[in-house]
Amino acid sequence: MTKEQHPLQALIKEYNEQKEALRKKVEKQLKPYLQSLCNDTVLAYRFTCYTPYFADGDVCEFGVNEIYAKYPGIPDDAGDYEDGYSSGYETEDKSIIEAIRAVNKAIQEIPEDFIQQVIGDGVQATITKDGVEIEEYEHD
């Protein structure tokens, strides 16, 4: 005797199949999209993304942190962490500030679970027009 599958089981199977198909599409498109945000003003940018270990009693949720950009004229030892990448706060060049804001906005519009899935958790991503470099990132 064959036991019939409940309609909910079929829906769960379909959901998982579609979710996997969408994940593959996102994986194929996300890195090229991130690279496309580099231009003559934002030569490269980086961000960290991770799930915190402690959130003062709140749920620890994955997040993408502030964008730091490399732009023309910034020395390699300048920037917020003296690594040649800046949040843009120390420049008065409005075109640089606006370009960094545009990259920030574009990143914020991407669902974080897409970034977690493709870029990873506990990493620093550095993006240039030529590629995406992902390194482990130590955080508190």
Q: Give yes or no for residue 114 having a pLDDT over 60.
A: yes
Indicate the DSSP class of residue 73. T
CB 102: neighbour CB atoms within 10 A? 15
Q: Give yes or no for residue 3 having a pLDDT over 80.
A: no
- Within the chain, strands assigned E span 44-50, 63-64, 68-70, 123-128, 131-136
CA distance 41 to 95: 8
**% pLDDT > 90, the chain:** 71
pLDDT-based confidence at residue 2 (cuts at 50, 70, 90): low
15-39 pLDDT, tens per residue? Answer: 999 999 998 999 899 999 999 999 9
62-103 pLDDT, tens per residue? Answer: 999 999 999 998 999 988 889 999 998 888 899 999 999 999
Select from 82, 124, 99 the least CA-distant residue to 41.
99
Q: Which two tokens stand for residue 73?
A: 């004229």
